[in-house]
Chains A and B, each alone.
Chain A
């Protein structure tokens, strides 16, 4: 093991001097991640070109629910289609919206449940879920839409707490409403009455709530700082409710998996080149006559690549986190990253035996990288891919990498769901290592 470690350390030191490699491993993914994220951010917060037409079925009809609809419209990317018959029953409105979506008339509908206004924007209250039904053929937009729903909710939170003074008249009004309205749910009445008192302690408790953030993936009775509780509604089968709760917290959630891909592909190509360079500069000769086995040579190279991939991922996750990316599960993320790293080692091994010269390997590797990235979500996030590209993407190992990362970051995968892309990644890695080692073992010079 010491030998393998020595070999890996040596390679990492060598790659540190490889300016071009470093750019692709570190600089490029950062650029891509931030760029994509920034584009998507502006996209979802005020881009003029994109408008999602949706229907809002407001079963709550409260001041807060109306504010929420206004916040959605204020996002700039959403047009709320007014109901054809405002006086129709809520259930009928919902039916109508789903029908419109199915006909392709409407992108989505957002259902604000009864009682929405009582808890929306109060973070320690887990209110009834917002329904979201999206045209399945336009699932690309679904992620963005969820982001906008979150943002609008965030605004509500801001409205409620950022500037309490300005909220006072509204709260006074609410108090009056409570007193005047005898039909009101007593629990809600108590809640709203206690609202002003709670305000003071809110800031203090915010920290504590924040610490619960990382466990957001787990189901717990403890309220989490999940901005909006969105429940996806399968519009193709309205009777069946899809329980999957999607949690895209920011545009960075979408841009970073793609960006990470570039980094790891950079690792594969860079370490593949160090492998041929080992031969072209003659050091492979020394390694072969040294008292170490071929397996150790290969393992050392693999370990170096593995470590580099892990480092790129950690760096990107840290950067993403700083920008606002909030992975659902860090444990799954670790699983995804480790599987991805193993896969990349396999790809690296294969690349390293593609050609005999540095130029050949470097050229072929980067060519393969561009193709893999293009169809794997490194250029266009998978979520925004046209369908034909998406079907090709299954052949790119990188799309499985993205799926695994996304599964951990925002798709809210269960362990079984995670194991699928991770298993494929590991299988690809193993195949690559096997093939690479076989070719390498035949090399005699």
Chain B
């Protein structure tokens, strides 16, 4: 049997990346690898350094220090590496006075698409952006959400292996947002490698295999969702209203406040069923499992939503 061609297990390697703007350190010693076919999340509040990191990865900006390798090569090596990458920048990057179609044709051609392949991809991208019936309209006549979708479509028109989406859902209505998620999931199933930055934990939670948490230019933690929750999520919070106070208050994990009970637990459901078998009757019950919000809180002492 023929040996499979050896391929680096990591399609993107970022090593000790650093970038400052004057006295401000936007990215500080950031190191991570992205595996082939993985959806990798960069989660952090505004100003965390996500976009700067992305810009250095795609070669739009030079880092002050550190290395970036794409498929084993330096991004500065040229066209063949760049062709692998599709990026939807956070700030819209479209020609306002050209039509949706012209934008896609132009960007597609820049990546070497021509003829039937080009029109096929442009059609695909228009469908992706749900702009088939507006294809000949100028971009300046579009709504914010339409522009966002087109901005993403321009990143995908040349069918890249590596896709970087920098906060692609900002300013998008919920319906479009769902459509975008579905599309990303399809790209995932297709085996594309995706880096997705966001400051919405729900998005990272829903889409990403692994999530890196960034703040103030530093990468604070990197793991799967479950790994992050297990390590940094802390206990779940259970709040309950009891029908009546139990005769033996010592079986309760916390003191009662009237009929209200509030306690933290790593195994909240087990704890609740233990109480139930001991005859505690619940009128209301709420289990708040830890999420990325609590992970971020425990890592930084601040809320992600600030």
* Residues of chain A having any CB pair with chain B under 8 Å: 3, 6, 10, 13-14, 17-18, 281-283, 285-292, 444-445
Contact = CB atoms under 8 A, between A and B. Distances in A.
Contacts of A287: 110
Given A283-B94, A289-B87, A290-B111, A6 B106 contact: yes
B289 to A, nearest CB: 39
Contact of A285 (B60, B102, B112): B60
23 contacts: A6-B109, A10-B98, A10-B102, A13-B98, A14-B97, A17-B138, A18-B97, A281-B96, A282-B91, A282-B92, A283-B94, A285-B60, A286-B154, A289-B87, A290-B107, A291-B78, A291-B79, A291-B82, A291-B111, A292-B79, A292-B110, A444-B61, A444-B62
Interface in B149-166: 154
A287 B111 CA distance: 10
A291 B97 CA distance: 24
B251 to A, nearest CB: 61
A8 to B, nearest CB: 11
Chain B interface residue number, banded: 20 to 34
B290 interface: no
A294 to B, nearest CB: 11
B83 interface: yes
Contact of A288 (B60, B78, B91, B95): B60
Nearest to B112: A291
A289 B107 CA distance: 11
Q: Give the one of A10, A18, A290, A292 with max B CB within 10 A.
A: A290
B59 A289 contact: yes
B93 interface: yes
A281 B59 contact: no
Contacts of B60: 285, 288-289
Contacts of B80: 291
Q: Give the one of B82, B89, B109, B111 with max A CB within 10 A.
A: B109
B73 to A, nearest CB: 13
A424 B279 CA distance: 99
B272 interface: no
A282 B78 contact: no
A283 B89 CA distance: 9
A291 B83 contact: yes
Contacts of A10: 95, 98, 102, 106
Nearest to A296: B110
A283 B97 CA distance: 12
Interface string B61-99: 110000000000000001110110101010111111110
Contacts of B91: 282, 285
B110 A291 contact: yes
B58 interface: yes
A286 B96 CA distance: 14
B93 A283 contact: yes
Ranked nearest first, the 4 interchain pairs of A and B with the lowest CB-CB distance are: A291-B79, A282-B93, A17-B97, A291-B82
Contacts of A18: 97
Contacts of B107: 286, 290
Contacts of B98: 10, 13-14
B106 A289 contact: no
Given A13-B102, A282-B89, A290 B110 contact: yes
Contact of B82 (A283, A290, A444): A290
Contacts of A17: 97, 138
Contacts of B94: 281-283
Nearest to A278: B95
Contact of A289 (B58, B97, B109): B58
A281 B92 contact: yes
B82 A289 contact: yes
Nearest to A15: B97
Contact of B59 (A14, A288, A445): A288
Q: Give the one of A283, A285, A286, A445 with max B CB within 10 A.
A: A286
Q: Give the one of B97, B106, B110 with max A CB within 10 A.
A: B110
B111 A281 contact: no
A286 B58 CA distance: 10
Interface string B30-53: 000000000000000000000000
A14 B95 contact: yes
Q: Give the one of B85, B95, B102, B107 with max A CB within 10 A.
A: B95
Given A14-B95, A281-B92, A286-B107, 15 more contacts: A10-B98, A10-B102, A14-B98, A17-B138, A281-B94, A281-B96, A282-B93, A285-B89, A285-B91, A286-B87, A289-B85, A290-B82, A290-B107, A291-B83, A291-B112
Given A14-B98, A290-B82, A292-B79, A285 B93 contact: yes
Contacts of B95: 10, 14, 281, 283
Contacts of A292: 79, 110
Contacts of A14: 95, 97-98
Contacts of A3: 110
A283 B82 CA distance: 16
Interface string B268-300: 000000000000000000000000000000000
A368 B58 CA distance: 37
Contacts of B83: 291
Contacts of A291: 78-80, 82-83, 110-112
Nearest to B78: A291
Q: Give the one of A14, A282, A289, A291 with max B CB within 10 A.
A: A289
B272 to A, nearest CB: 51
Contacts of B55: 285
B97 to A, nearest CB: 4
A311 B289 CA distance: 68
